[in-house]
A and B are shown apart, each in its own frame.
Chain A
Amino acid sequence: MKLLSYGLLLFSLVANAWAIDNAGIELSDPEHRARYQVLIEELRCVVCQNQAISDSNAELAQDLRDRVREMILSGMTDTEIKTFLVNRYGDFVLYRPPLQKNTYVLWLAPLVIFLVAIVSLFFVIRRHRRTTLKAPVLTDAERAKIDKALKQDEQ
């Protein structure tokens, strides 16, 4: 157990070392810093594609972090900064893809699947009710069989 916790400690140290950003320019304004933090979490690193530029140590991610800082300092809005990057790397850089013609499937599929699930659930429940709530109706032949069996039992 002790070994494990040491291992985890070591691992967290390494993880921290990776996260270090060689800030060329420091953002002194807290509002700028907050915007920067949100932006770099939402922008995908196009080199190591499953990381945001905030936690990628790829050189391009560093360049993009520097560029984002420069753009914030030059007074660009968040939308302008995102447009700048989309113009260069495509919608792929956005971790939050915009709702447009080629992303309808992406955005609407969960809703469609949810609706299909709800509708099928409705039918399943209805069928379940029909088969379990009503007492089974016996046919005359079955009734006769029961009567016969009970009579045999009495004898």
Chain B
Amino acid sequence: MIRYLLPLFIFLGLAAFLFQGLKLNPRDLGSTRIDKAAPAFEAPQLVKAEQTFSNQDFTGKVSIFNAWASWCVSCRQEHPVLMQLSQYTDIPIYGLNYKDTRPAALEVLKKDGNPYQVSAFDPKGLIGMDWGVIGTPETFIVDKQGVVRYKHVGPLHGEVLKNEILPLIKQLRES
């Protein structure tokens, strides 16, 4: 009897694995930077080109670091979420303007609003490479000590914010 049922069990096991696989996001490769100090960088700012932004600027507060670009369609999609975050919370949002041109990026900020306190300008994507950015948008949370605590791949949305990002920021602020 068991020998005739065996294929059925193997099939069910396989189906369970594949079903789980459907829920995974193949784009989300995790991050090697989690729980490590933010990769060192110093870059010109996007808006105030004569000033710089560096990894030193993360220390002392829990902040959001968001890789974006004017050519990135799903960045437009998450833009309202960032705008709301900047309006209704006091969480500092820093941007990494990834592989972009200054005029195009400034145009987007002028048209849709600027949720970022500062955006670092990374036209060649070298800072992005150090952070392991695969494709925009990607969002990191950096704690008070300048340690990377979290990474979200893809556009931000209410659910991620409510279930993951905001609770984590609250917890990191209290610690």
> B-contacting residues of A (Cβ < 8 Å)?
46-47, 49, 59-60, 63-64, 67, 86-90, 92
- Interchain CB contact under 8 A, B26 and A49: yes
- Interchain CB contact under 8 A, A86 and B32: yes
Output the least CB separation between A50 and chain B (Å): 10
Across chains A and B, which 10 residue pairs bring their CB atoms closest together, nearest first? Answer: A88-B132, A46-B134, A90-B32, A92-B29, A89-B132, A63-B125, A90-B29, A87-B32, A47-B134, A47-B135
Q: What are 17 inter-chain pairs, A to B, with CB distance below 8 A?
A: A46-B29, A46-B134, A47-B135, A49-B26, A60-B125, A60-B135, A63-B124, A63-B129, A67-B129, A87-B32, A88-B129, A88-B130, A88-B131, A89-B132, A89-B134, A90-B29, A90-B132
> A-contacting residues of B (Cβ < 8 Å)?
26, 29-32, 99, 124-125, 129-132, 134-135
Q: Which residue of B lies closest to A64 (CB)?
A: B129
A46 to B128, CA, bound (A): 13
Partner of B30, one of A47, A59, A87, A90: A90
A86 to B31, CA, bound (A): 10
**Residues of chain B within 8 A of A88, CB atoms compared:** 32, 129-132
A59-B125, A60-B135 given. 11 additional CB < 8 A pairs? A46-B29, A47-B134, A49-B26, A63-B124, A86-B32, A88-B129, A88-B131, A89-B132, A89-B134, A90-B29, A92-B29
Q: Which residue of A lies closest to B36 (CB)?
A: A87
Q: Which residue of A lies closest to B99 (CB)?
A: A59
Partner of A89, one of B26, B32, B124: B32
Output the least CB separation between A56 and chain B (Å): 12
From A59, A86, A87, A88, residue with most partner B Cβ within 10 Å: A88
Q: Which residue of B lies closest to A66 (CB)?
A: B124
A60 to B31, CA, bound (A): 16
Output the least CB separation between A63 and chain B (Å): 6
**Residues of chain B within 8 A of A86, CB atoms compared:** 32
A46 to B125, CA, bound (A): 15
A92 to B131, CA, bound (A): 15
Output the least CB separation between A140 and chain B (Å): 34
A63 to B30, CA, bound (A): 20
**Residues of chain A within 8 A of B132, CB atoms compared:** 88-90
**Residues of chain A within 8 A of B26, CB atoms compared:** 49
